[in-house]
Structure 1
Amino acid sequence: MSTRSRSCSCSRPKCSDFGLGGVSPSVYVTTQCPMHYGVYLAYRILITLYLLGYFLYVFIVSVRPGGPYGGYFFIYLTNWGYILMLVYQICALWNIIVYAAFMKPAGWTSDDVPWYFFHRGQWLLFNMYASVAILLSLLYWGALYVPGTVDLYYDINFHTLNGIVALIEIFLSAMVIRLLHFIYPFMFAVAYVVFAGIYYAAGGTDEEGNPSIYSILDFGANPGLAAGLAIGAVVVVVVVHILIVWGLHKLKVLIFDRCCPSCFPNENVENRDPVELEGDSQELKV
């Protein structure tokens, strides 16, 4: 494989870039920098079990009689974001288990991995999760955090760990991040804003009886402010995807291209020169 700069072979965004295709499914079971599958699998298992265990603990404690949230656990954006992260990690773990436990022992190489539903599911979930997680972390610690009001360990897990894990995934995984995939976190943000509006219109309250999920999102007392913040949040999540998620992905490509050309396996077709792809077209099984 040629070691020419992949970072300079970027093409202009096209309509097909909104979709979830055009790359080999092997990128969902490999890391950007070569790593033993046992190590990668161990990472996936540990992070997924920890996130799942802590989520179940918080959920059970929160919704039990006398708990802090009761039946209101699912109205908060933070919890939506954590659940999204957890589902992504479960999907990513499933994909690597299927490959490491069944395909690899059967003699399959990473080039032989076929497309199936969970590959696109992992890609879709990551595009939604990463931007939302980073935005939630920045927004909470930058504007909403009040010392002593919430357990610090909870804050770290629900308002910090999600953003840190997203950054780790950007640099660790060989998964491609596209500029036009801002549409997915945009759709997630719109979905929550619509939910919040419907919830308010239907007379929903928070666990303390307040007529809004968040005080700054009170469509009754401050409809203009609430609408402005809702629109602003939708715009900002797109900016986060472009400047941070996609930007860090391109930085990763640049760094690995300069320092470790072998970290661009044949299967990562989106980060390779089109001339190279023509010569390797028979090797890719997508």
Structure 2
Amino acid sequence: MFKRMHKISCSDFWVLSHERLSDFYTSAWQRRGSPLPLLFFRLVLAAASVGFLVWSLTSGQSGLSPLWLIYLTNWGLVMVTAMAVSGFFVSAMIACKRPADDEKTPWYVGLFWIIFNVTQTIAIAITVLYWTLLYDANTMVYATTAAFWLDVAVHGFNSVISVGELVISRTPVRWLHVYQPLLVAAVYVAFSGIYYATDGTNGFGEPFIYPVLNWNEPGMAGAVSGGSLLGVFVVHTLVWALALGRNKLSDILFQRQTHELPHTHDKA
């Protein structure tokens, strides 16, 4: 028999209502409700993401330059780092003072949830867009081996860290939260247009941030922007489906007997 569909309420669109607080500090792949396994995993993610961020800031043509801030790749790197660090903070706070599972969602958990929602979709989208639209093996020349691995790190390992958090944790994903990454993507599209209109240039002195987002050719830039915004819905749906599968498999394997509240049907 199909379960009764969850009735959508206004609270489902925000991040301060969830049935089980423990979903934010326990792994999907543990029997006990201790926050320590996920705490140590998140420490590794936080250290890796901070390392990649520092590496990017101190290397490359736009490192330690205001131009570093114009690239979506670097926006995504900041998001990944914020997600990993805030996730570690959540686990550390819970480890120090573990609240009841039905307690009201603390502000720092809600903040982490927003960053998590945005990062999951944006990080994957950045990886897909870069390797499909921007990377050209025939023309891409790296000054050093380190430059090549930095490129891989900020356009590939960023998604590894993001998906790692998604798969190992039990952080909930609601499809209705799609507006959060969509808003960030729309802000970047608007920023790229404003940057072009104010005669901004990229690290090579060209009058655009990315060749495919050159507003001197509005047809192409508009198509890429529209396709990217549509892609946010697709990627977020895939993330939601992966989280749903993660939860179902976790329930089957561990039966979630250690949680104080029974598992309820995932919200949209």
Q: Same fold (TM over 0.5)?
A: yes
CA deviations on 1:111-140 (whole Å, 9 max, x unpaired) are: 276532211111001110001111111222
State the alpha-carbon separation in 2 of the partners of residues 10 and 174 from structure 1.
21
Where does residue 162 of structure 1 map in the other structure? 158
Corresponding residue to 1:149 among 138, 141, 145:
141
CA contact (8 A) 1:200 1:212 kept: yes
Where does residue 174 of structure 2 map in the other structure? 178
| Aligned partner of residue 98 in structure 1, secondary structure | helix
Query: Which residue identity does 2:51 align to in structure 1?
Result: G
State the alpha-carbon separation in 2 of the partners of residues 13 and 49 from structure 1.
38
Question: Do structure 1's residue 259 and structure 2's residue 249 form an aligned pair?
Answer: no
State the alpha-carbon separation in 2 of the partners of residues 10 and 263 from structure 1.
24
State the alpha-carbon separation in 1 of the partners of residues 262 and 49 from structure 2.
29
Matches within 5 A, 1:178-257: 178-220=174-216, 222-242=217-237, 244-257=238-251
Question: Do structure 1's residue 111 and structure 2's residue 109 form an aligned pair?
Answer: no
CA contact (8 A) 1:31 1:174 kept: yes
CA contact (8 A) 1:264 1:271 kept: no
Task: Mark the CA change 1:229 to 1:12 in structure 2 (over 3 Å): closer, same or farther.
Answer: farther
Runs of 4+ in 1 over 6 A off after TM superposition: none
Query: Which residue identity does 1:200 align to in structure 2?
Result: Y
More relative contact order in 1 or in 2 (CA 8 Å, sep 6+)? 1
State the alpha-carbon separation in 2 of the partners of residues 169 and 22 from structure 1.
21
With the length of structure 1 as denominator, give the TM-score of the two structures: 0.81
Task: Mark the CA change 1:115 to 1:37 in structure 2 (over 3 Å): closer, same or farther.
Answer: closer
Where does residue 281 of structure 1 map in the other structure? none
Question: Do structure 1's residue 84 and structure 2's residue 82 form an aligned pair?
Answer: no
Matches within 5 A, 1:8-47: 8=3, 11=6, 13-23=8-18, 24-34=20-30, 37-47=35-45
For residue 207 of structure 1, report the CA deviation from its aligned partner.
1.6
Query: Which residue identity does 2:72 align to in structure 1?
Result: L
State the alpha-carbon separation in 1 of the partners of residues 17 and 5 from structure 2.
14
State the alpha-carbon separation in 2 of the partners of residues 250 and 237 from structure 1.
18
CA contact (8 A) 1:78 1:136 kept: yes
Where does residue 51 of structure 2 map in the other structure? 53
Give 5+ residue unaligned stretches, structure 1: 274-286
CA contact (8 A) 2:27 2:168 kept: yes
Aligned residues: 257
Task: Mark the CA change 1:10 to 1:68 in structure 2 (over 3 Å): closer, same or farther.
Answer: same
Where does residue 121 of structure 1 map in the other structure? 111
Q: Which moved more, 1:169-178 or 1:193-202?
A: 169-178
State the alpha-carbon separation in 2 of the partners of residues 159 and 142 from structure 1.
11
For residue 206 of structure 1, report the CA deviation from its aligned partner.
0.6
State the alpha-carbon separation in 2 of the partners of residues 10 and 33 from structure 1.
27
Identical aligned residues as a percent: 26
With the length of structure 2 as denominator, give the TM-score of the two structures: 0.86
CA deviations on 1:192-245 (whole Å, 9 max, x unpaired) are: 01111111111111122111001111111x111111211111111111101x10
For residue 13 of structure 1, report the CA deviation from its aligned partner.
4.5
State the alpha-carbon separation in 2 of the partners of residues 264 and 21 from structure 1.
23
Task: Mark the CA change 1:263 to 1:140 in structure 2 (over 3 Å): closer, same or farther.
Answer: farther
| Aligned partner of residue 256 in structure 2, secondary structure | helix
CA contact (8 A) 1:253 1:271 kept: no
State the alpha-carbon separation in 1 of the partners of residues 123 and 185 from structure 2.
11
State the alpha-carbon separation in 2 of the partners of residues 84 and 75 from structure 1.
14
